[in-house]
Amino acid sequence: MRPKDELAADRALDRPGTNESERLPLHEQAEDILGVTVRKVVIPVAAGRNLAVLLEAAVRNYILQLRGIHSTAEFMQRQQAEMKKD
C-alpha cells in the first residue's frame, strides 16, 4: 500500500476587490515563505458560501494535477469545442 502524501493547507485572507486574479488560472501560482516555495491557490469567496466545500474542491483539483490531470485546461477545451459547434 502506498503511503499517503501529506497535504497542508495554509490560508491568507485578502479583502474583496484588492486582489485581482484569474477566475480559472492555467498556470501554477507559488509564494515564497521563509525560503520555501509553496503552491498558492486563490479561491474567491462570497459571504454565505460553504468554505469546506470550496476547500475540498481545491484540494481535489490539486491532487488531480499531481496525477497529471489538468481539469481547468480540459474544461476550457470542451467549452471552446462547444462554442465552435454553434
Supply the CATH number for residue 43's domain.
Answer: 3.40.50.300
Quote the cell numbers at residue 85.
459547434
Rounded Cα–Cα distance for residues 43 and 58 (Å): 8
Per-residue pLDDT at 18 exceeds 60: no
- Domain span at residue 67 reads 1-86
Write the secondary structure of the chain as one string of H (helix), E (strand) and C (coil): CCCCCCCCCCCCCCCCCCCCCCCCCCCCEEEEECCEEEEECCCCCCCCCCHHHHHHHHHHHHHHHHCCCCHHHHHHHHHHHHHHHC
Comparing 29 with 82, which gets the higher pLDDT?
Answer: 82
Residue 44 has a pLDDT of 77
Domains identified in the chain, total number: 1
Q: What is the pLDDT of residues 21-54, one digit of tens each?
A: 566 566 677 888 899 888 887 777 778 888 889 8
Comparing 65 with 10, which gets the higher pLDDT?
Answer: 65
